[in-house]
Structure formats: C-alpha cells, structure tokens
C-alpha cells in the first residue's frame, strides 16, 4: 500500500492497536483494561501463540537471567519457588495472565504487521497486516499504535559465516530454532558463544552429553546467584503474596541498581569482586585467565548470571570445559581453531546471538512520508520524534525488561486518558533543537547491538530525549511526572479537510493518577 492508495477495506477500527502478544503485549492488554476501560483494543500477533521469546526459545535449560520478582508483572505476584525461572514456567505465567484477564480473546493470531500509515487529517493509523493462515492482507485502523514487538528478528538468529560447514559430518543447530529431535545423549557437543544462552546451554546439556565444550572468542562476566531466593522463601511464608512480592521487587531493584551503579563508577572494584567469585567456584587447575577475564568493563555488555553456579558445577564434574580461541574452519570431525587446535564434535551449537529488529520490521509512514528510524529521537524511552500517537515498549538493558514495560504501559494509559479528557486527538513528540547532540539508543557494546544500531532511533543527552536506564528515575518521570512538556505537541486536528496545522489546544495543568501498581 502506498501513501496515496487507500486500502479497499478496513477490517476493524480500534482505539488502540497493540502489536505483539509477548510479555509486553499481554502486559499492555492488562493495563489498557484496568486503566482505560472505555477504550477498545486488539492485539495483532504474527505467530499463533502467546508468549513471544518464552514460546520461541526451546533450547535445553532455557531460563531467565534476571530474577522473576522484577521480570514478573507489577500487578501479578510471581509465586513459584525459583527466582531464576525456567522458560516453560515463564511462558505459563504470561499465558495464565492472558487467560485469567480475558486478554487472549483480544488477540488476532497469525497477523504480521508490515506497515502503518498515520494520517493527520483523520488522526488515525491505517495498519496493514499479512495473515499467515489465509495468505490475505488485511487492514485495521486505530487512534493509537502500541508496538510490543520485542527487539529482534524471529525468523533467523545471528549466524556468522563459518568456513567449511558443509564438510562437517555432525549436526549444526542454532538455539533460536531448536529442533525437537536433537539427541545429544552420549555425544560430544561444542557450544560456540559466551553469552547468556551459551552459559545456560553448557550445564543443561552436560548432564546427558559425553562432554560439552564452550568455545568462546572472548569471555563474558559471570556472576553466580542462588536460583532460589532465601529471603523470598522467608517472606512468602509470613506475608500476604502481594506484600511479599512488592518487598522482594524493591529488594531486587535496589540490589541490581546498586550493582550497576557500582560497576559504572568503580569498574576495577567490581571486576575484582567478580573475579574473586569465579575463583572461589572454579575447580583447581582451571584458569581464570583468559577464560573469565573480558576485555571490556562490567555492563558494557550484559553480565551473565548463572543460578547456583551450575556452569562451575559442570566444570568440576569434568563434564564441561571452556576453550578461549576462534573458529578457523569447520572440519569433517568438528572444528579447527585459529591456534591450530582441533575440537572433535558430533553436535555444534552456534549460540552466536540474535539479529536485532526495530518495531518488528513495520514500515512507518506519517502523512505520506516514510520514517527512517535512525533519524528519529526516542522520547522518554518510548515514543519517537515526529511520529504521532505511537509508543514502543523497550525494556532496560541493565535490569528486568518488565520493569520498564509496566511503566511504559502506565504512562501511555495516563496519556490516552488525558487526551480524551481534553479533546486532543494527536500527540507528537517534537525536537525543536536541530543541533541537539545525540547518542546511540542502546548503550551496550555487545556485537548484536553494534551490528544494528544504525537501524534504531537515537537518544539525546538530557530529558525527555535521554534513555536513562534507571527504574527509580523512570518512576518519577513516567508514573508521576507531567504529561505535557515543551517537546510534546498535543493537538486536535479538524476531523475533515486538508492536513494543516490543526487546532493547537492550550496546555491545561497536567494530571497525575494514583497507581494501582506495585513498584
Ligand atoms: C533467550 C532469552 C532470554 C531472555 N531473558 C531475559 C531475562 O531474564 N530478563 C529480561 O529482562 N529479559 C530477558 N530477555 C529479553 C526478552 O526478550 C524480554 O524479557 C521479554 O520477553 C520481551 O518481551 P516482549 O513481549 O517485549 O518481546 P518478545 O518476547 O520478543 O515478543 C514480541 C512478540 O511480538 C510479535 N511480533 C513481532 N513483530 C511483529 C509484527 N510485525 N507483527 C505482529 N507481531 C509481531 C512476536 O511474534 C512476539 O510474539 C531474554 C531474551 C531472550 C532471547
């Protein structure tokens, strides 16, 4: 569909269209129902399942790498025993939330959104979706578009071109598409990678495999934490579930914030502490250098968390080992490394990462002009400059995703109610300073981030254009802060006639709402 071609039929008009039925989309459904009960909404989901990440990834041992008291929703206590939870338990939690609240009935499965066009004249989006079940292209319209599409491509994980793969007699598997029939019992496995997925796979596969080797080009920081939180066990037995959950959330928010701030301010101290932790868990004869000494500072890339030191247990048991080297080529029997060493393998797992993708690949057009995301600025870490009536859920890089997701949903619900109350039909963040210095949107230096930064928006140096990655700061800005500021243009364009400046309504005093949410 081009800007001048109107779609032949609009299937449905909704006040809000949510795109994606993962953790964020289901959270958005909850907040819309609870805070904007008069608004109609639907969720368009490309796949035929709820859960996004937690339904897609099926590799052995798949689990969270942040605690469930902060990865869980603010409105639904996580009551399972494990704080670092298995993928299926997280999927069940998301699905159950959708079922209990009737959010599942709002989902249109097999609808992959490919384009969205904003018309100022009509103050609405026209959204184009491809149906994977019928092959049809369908169109919806909505007043507000809420993108809960995650941050990576679903169809293909990142797989670098390795030489000689065609010669390898064994099997090569990528964790993003784990086939049901992978049999690794008694086999020699090599896992290529050093990130969260690799450190999860190694101990999980070591139980059955003959041996698992983790082959890493460069190491990550690895921190061990108890899989079960003793404080949680104590509080859960003595306090009502909601109160215990709220206290545990604050405890963990405080701890992760302190750890992150200390890492940024005193990286040498944190490096020494992490090293000490690793040394105390390594079996004798295993070297910390070079396998556990990254070349970057803690939190330049995500720190990997291992529950109950399970990775180190596998090293102790002799069922796993770590090699720090580079792949030269795949051979018939396994891998030849840059050092000349050979690794024999029956199965090679390429835990080499994700391909980032903004807005689920949706093409965005505003009044006939296609938006280049790299030319936009993120507003309050959720809206984009010059893109009206659209928000995006992007979680924290240094804390659990859902903390930011809940705050974003709360803010958008406040904004929608505020607009309705004052007769505004359009809200557009506008950067009025063309010389504003900018930074990349995501502050991590991981390979998967650096590979795709040019496809993402930018951020400014100060609020509201700065993405602070700070939950407590965001509570003040998003839950209690004003909805109107110099950058936010709120308008009521005339419902008919040529697009023009519209009627700019003078700003009334901003409103705050009392929140039902826990921290
Ligand atoms: C293996 C793994 C482990 C992780 N562990 C953690 C962790 O422990 N803690 C943490 O904070 N974060 C973690 N993350 C990040 C994780 O993605 C988030 O925690 C969270 O699951 C994101 O939820 P989401 O709903 O925003 O996105 P997703 O889970 O990616 O869901 C997005 C949904 O949108 C749909 N979609 C995408 N594009 C379109 C489109 N164009 N049209 C229609 N539908 C579309 C997808 O099909 C999907 O269902 C992990 C990520 C991975 C890959």
Q: Which of 27, 48, 50, 52 to mutate to test the pocket of ligand 1 (most atoms within 8 A of CB)?
A: 52
CA of 196 to the centre of ligand 1 (A): 15
CA of 180 to the centre of ligand 1 (A): 21
Can you give the pLDDT at residue 445?
72
For the CA of 23, the closest atom of ligand 1 is 25
Can you give the pLDDT at residue 502?
39
Q: Whose CA is nearest to atom 12 of ligand 1?
A: 401
The span from the CA of 42 to the CA of 31, in Å, is 13
Can you give the pLDDT at residue 493?
73
44 within ligand 1 shell (Cβ under 6 A): yes
Q: Whose CA is nearest to atom 39 of ligand 1?
A: 360
- pTM value is 0.93
Q: Which of 18, 19, 20 to mutate to test the pocket of ligand 1 (most atoms within 8 A of CB)?
A: 20
For the CA of 148, the closest atom of ligand 1 is 26
Residues 6+ apart with CB under 8 A from 166: none
Can you give the pLDDT at residue 454?
82
CA of 318 to the centre of ligand 1 (A): 34
Of 1, 312, 4, the C-alpha closest to 127 is 1
CA of 449 to the centre of ligand 1 (A): 15
For the CA of 64, the closest atom of ligand 1 is 8
DSSP β-bridge partners for residue 335: 330, 343
Long-range contacts of 481-486 (CB under 8 A, 24+ apart): 482/510, 483/414, 483/415, 483/418, 483/510, 483/511, 484/508, 484/510, 486/432
61 within ligand 1 shell (Cβ under 6 A): no
Are the beta carbons of 75 and 516 closer than 8 angstroms?
Answer: yes
Can you give the pLDDT at residue 378?
96
CA of 150 to the centre of ligand 1 (A): 4
23 within ligand 1 shell (Cβ under 6 A): yes
For the CA of 150, the closest atom of ligand 1 is 27
CA of 111 to the centre of ligand 1 (A): 17
**Cα angle for residues 493, 497, 500 (degrees, 5° grid):** 50
324 within ligand 1 shell (Cβ under 6 A): no
CA of 344 to the centre of ligand 1 (A): 34
* Sequential DSSP letters for 471-493: HHHHIIIIIIS-S--TTEEEEE-
Q: pLDDT tens digits for the chain (519 residues)?
A: 544 445 568 889 999 999 999 999 999 999 999 999 999 999 999 999 999 999 999 999 999 999 999 999 999 999 998 999 999 999 999 999 999 999 999 999 999 999 999 999 999 999 999 999 999 999 999 999 999 999 999 999 999 999 999 999 999 999 999 999 999 999 999 999 999 999 999 999 999 999 999 999 999 999 999 999 999 999 988 999 999 999 999 999 999 999 999 999 999 999 999 999 999 999 887 888 889 899 888 888 889 999 999 999 999 999 999 999 999 999 999 999 999 999 999 999 999 999 999 999 999 999 999 999 999 999 999 999 999 999 999 999 899 999 999 999 999 999 999 999 999 999 999 999 989 999 888 877 777 777 888 889 999 999 999 998 999 999 999 999 999 999 999 999 765 444 443 344 433 333 333 333 444
64 within ligand 1 shell (Cβ under 6 A): yes
CA of 23 to the centre of ligand 1 (A): 7
Q: Which of 25, 53, 256 to mutate to test the pocket of ligand 1 (most atoms within 8 A of CB)?
A: 53
CA of 77 to the centre of ligand 1 (A): 20
Are the beta carbons of 110 and 48 closer than 8 angstroms?
Answer: yes
360 within ligand 1 shell (Cβ under 6 A): yes
45 within ligand 1 shell (Cβ under 6 A): yes
Can you give the pLDDT at residue 8?
60
Q: Whose CA is nearest to atom 52 of ligand 1?
A: 53
Tally of CB atoms within 10 A around 447: 17
CA of 149 to the centre of ligand 1 (A): 7
Are the beta carbons of 422 and 505 closer than 8 angstroms?
Answer: yes
For the CA of 62, the closest atom of ligand 1 is 1
3-state SS of 127-168 is: EEEEECCCCCEEEEEEEEEEECCCCECCCCCCCCCCCCHHHC
Of 382, 365, 218, 393, the C-alpha closest to 294 is 218
CA of 243 to the centre of ligand 1 (A): 28
399 within ligand 1 shell (Cβ under 6 A): no
Phi/psi region, residue 359 (left: phi>0; alpha: psi -120 to 50; beta: rest), is left
CA of 405 to the centre of ligand 1 (A): 11
CA of 285 to the centre of ligand 1 (A): 39
350 within ligand 1 shell (Cβ under 6 A): no
């Amino acid at each position: 569909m081009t800007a001048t071609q109107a779609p032949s039929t609009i299937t449905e008009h909704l006040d809000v269209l949510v795109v994606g039925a993962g953790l964020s989309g289901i959270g958005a459904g909850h907040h819309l129902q609870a805070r904007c009960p008069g608004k109609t909404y639907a969720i368009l989901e490309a796949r035929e399942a709820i859960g996004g990440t937690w339904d897609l990834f099926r590799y052995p041992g798949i689990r969270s790498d942040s605690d469930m008291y902060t990865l869980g929703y603010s409105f639904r206590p996580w009551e399972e025993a494990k704080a670092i939870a298995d993928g299926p338990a997280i999927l069940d939690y998301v699905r159950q939330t959708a079922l209990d609240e009737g959010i599942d009935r709002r989902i249109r499965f097999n609808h992959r959104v490919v384009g969205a066009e904003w018309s100022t004249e009509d103050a609405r989006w026209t959204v184009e979706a491809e149906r994977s079940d019928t092959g049809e292209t369908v169109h919806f319209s909505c007043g507000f578009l809420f993108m809960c599409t995650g941050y990576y491509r679903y169809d293909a994980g990142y797989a670098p071109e390795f030489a000689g793969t065609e010669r390898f007699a064994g099997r090569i598997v990528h964790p993003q598409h784990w086939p049901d029939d992978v049999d690794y019992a008694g086999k020699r496995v090599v896992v290529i990678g050093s990130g969260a997925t690799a450190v999860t796979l190694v101990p999980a596969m070591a139980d059955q495999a003959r041996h698992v080797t983790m082959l890493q080009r460069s190491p990550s920081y690895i921190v061990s934490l108890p899989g079960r939180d003793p404080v949680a066990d104590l509080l859960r037995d003595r306090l009502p579930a909601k109160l215990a959950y709220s206290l545990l959330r604050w405890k963990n928010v405080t701890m992760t914030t302190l750890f992150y701030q200390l890492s940024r301010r005193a990286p040498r101290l944190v490096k020494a502490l992490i090293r000490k932790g690793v040394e105390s868990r390594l079996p004798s004869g295993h070297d910390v250098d070079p396998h556990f000494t990254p070349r970057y500072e803690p939190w330049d890339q995500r720190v990997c968390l291992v529950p109950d030191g399970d990775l180190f247990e596998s090293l102790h048991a002799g069922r796993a080992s770590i090699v720090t080297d580079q792949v030269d080529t795949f051979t018939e029997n396994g891998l030849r490394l840059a050092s000349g060493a050979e690794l024999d393998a029956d199965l090679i797992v390429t835990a080499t990462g994700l391909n980032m993708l903004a807005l689920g690949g949706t093409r965005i057009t505003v009044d006939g002009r296609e938006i280049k995301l790299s030319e936009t600025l993120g507003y309050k870490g959720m809206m984009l400059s010059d893109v009206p009536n659209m928000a995006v859920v992007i979680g924290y890089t240094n804390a659990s995703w859902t903390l930011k997701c809940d705050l974003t949903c709360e803010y958008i619900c406040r904004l929608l109610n505020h607009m309705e109350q004052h007769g505004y039909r359009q809200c557009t963040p506008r950067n009025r300073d063309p010389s504003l210095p900018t930074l990349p949107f995501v502050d991590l230096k991981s390979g998967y981030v650096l590979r795709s930064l040019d496809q993402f928006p930018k951020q400014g140096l100060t609020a509201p254009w700065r993405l602070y990655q700070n939950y407590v700061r965001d509570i003040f800005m998003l839950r209690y802060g004003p909805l109107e500021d110099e950058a936010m243009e709120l308008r009521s364009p005339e419902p008919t006639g040529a697009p023009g400046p519209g009627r700019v309504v003078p700003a009334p005093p901003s409103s705050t709402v009392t929140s039902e949410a826990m921290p």
